[in-house]
Structure 1
Amino acid sequence: MFDLGTFIEHYGYTAIFITLILGIVGLPLPDEILLTYVGYNVFLGTLSLKYSLITAMVGAIMGISVSYLLGLKLGLPFIKRFGPKLNITETRIEWAQNSFKAYGGFFLIVGYFLPGVRHITAYLAGMSTYRYFSFALFASIGAIIWTSSFILLGVFLGNNWTIVGNVFHQTSKIIWIALLALLIYFYIRANRAK
């Protein structure tokens, strides 16, 4: 975090914007900690709350849009070409697309709050050919809620802003274990259905 902190201290809003784009596209950056640190800088008076919120929201929306375009351009053609070798059939692709069309808005909003998940929701939306207007609407709502929550949390916590890093470090482990358990469950269930 010290390198990101120095980056933000030196380049301010530009650093927030660039870091969020790269973090949401998929670089392993601690986005929640970054946003809380931004809030801490607002608490200190070195950054403006208004401009921090706007910059973070725009950066998050740009990052998730890039991920959507990557999923749209690279995802589905790749899956259709190599999917059968991995036992990914047209039926499964169609099921994934229909599921995302039905629940995609929920996944996009909630996905921001799940470390690691926000990186793939937009990619899945693009891969599932989820309508761009719906994607942009839900992704923007999620970005506004997510960035505002963590920046305001940093302002509220003030000098205790580092608590968020510890909580998210532990929470992300639990989330990944739960996701792995779900994947194993669905894999076993799919193989039994055969």
Structure 2
Amino acid sequence: MENQITYLLEHYGYFGIIFALIGGIVGLPIPDEVLLTYIGYSVFQGELSYLISIVSAFVGATVGISLSYFIGYKFGLPLLEKFGPKIHITEQKINRTKNLFKKFGPYLLLFGYFIPGVRHLTAYMAAVNRFSFRKFIIYAYAGALIWSFTFITLGRILGENWTNVELYISTYRIYLITSILVLTIFFYLLWKRRNRLRRGIS
């Protein structure tokens, strides 16, 4: 897998990141988190730019999840149930994500990227539930940025030990999601408070 990712980055650079993540988010069997972490490792080695890598990953993730949204909006669940198993999207995963979406809705769009088998389906569920595209963008694109930043930064920090990411993910995933959720709420409340103060001053 490392050789394939290396080939992708060496031959296609940042465009390779974009197209790989578009495919991965839509549902192709691409190890997105491993790819992002390896990109972070390449940044650590000085082979890629940290900022451009994050922007490229963000573009790939947002295009991929938007494409999934439009496919879901146009064709709905029947298409997913018919062709999903061919790209490893099973009926069990579909039903699981459907139930999660009923409970958590927008927040699943925001943090579903961190849950294997769920990030590929959240956009479809948003479309089937007729989320407006504007509302979809707010949560899904914010999630794409957090996800891209997290794993590229993780790869950069781990350096030579980047291959341990799968072990760290499986062990600490719930703590990672909780930390991100707490930070997101904190910054949202801070932003809201600043807006109130500005309105009070004006």
TM-score by length of 1: 0.73
Letter in 1 for 2:161: N
Show the 5 A alignment for 1:6-85.
6-75=7-76
Cα pair 1:125 1:135 within 8 Å, conserved:
yes
Rounded to whole Å, the distance in 2 between the matches of 1:76 and 1:120 is 10
Rounded to whole Å, the distance in 2 between the matches of 1:104 and 1:11 is 36
With over 3 angstroms needed to count, the CA separation of the structure-2 counterparts of 1:157 and 1:61, relative to structure 1, is same
Rounded to whole Å, the distance in 1 between the matches of 2:50 and 2:131 is 33
With over 3 angstroms needed to count, the CA separation of the structure-2 counterparts of 1:28 and 1:170, relative to structure 1, is farther
With over 3 angstroms needed to count, the CA separation of the structure-2 counterparts of 1:166 and 1:101, relative to structure 1, is closer
Q: Secondary structure at the match of 1:28?
A: coil
Cα displacement (A) at 1:30? 0.5
Rounded to whole Å, the distance in 1 between the matches of 2:79 and 2:21 is 27
Deviating 4+ runs (over 6 angstroms) = 169-172
Structure 1 position 154 matched with structure 2 position 135? no
Cα pair 2:110 2:139 within 8 Å, conserved:
yes
Cα pair 2:37 2:151 within 8 Å, conserved:
yes
Cα pair 1:8 1:15 within 8 Å, conserved:
yes
Cα pair 1:100 1:128 within 8 Å, conserved:
no
Cα displacement (A) at 1:76? 5.2
- The residue that corresponds to 2:112 in the other structure is 111
Rounded to whole Å, the distance in 1 between the matches of 2:104 and 2:162 is 33
- The residue that corresponds to 1:132 in the other structure is 133
Letter in 2 for 1:6: Y
Rounded to whole Å, the distance in 2 between the matches of 1:112 and 1:46 is 26
With over 3 angstroms needed to count, the CA separation of the structure-2 counterparts of 1:103 and 1:166, relative to structure 1, is closer
Q: Which stretches in structure 2 are left out of the alignment for 5+ residues?
A: 81-97, 174-202
Question: Pairwise CA RMSD of aligned residues?
Answer: 2.4
Q: Secondary structure at the match of 2:106?
A: helix
Deviation per CA, 1:79-133, whole angstroms, max 9, x where unpaired? Answer: 9xxxxxxxxxxxxxxxx69x85773210101110001110001111111111110
Rounded to whole Å, the distance in 2 between the matches of 1:101 and 1:135 is 15
Deviation per CA, 1:116-160, whole angstroms, max 9, x where unpaired? Answer: 110001111111111110101100100000000000000000010
TM-score by length of 2: 0.70
Cα pair 2:101 2:122 within 8 Å, conserved:
no
Rounded to whole Å, the distance in 2 between the matches of 1:132 and 1:146 is 20
Number of equivalenced pairs: 155
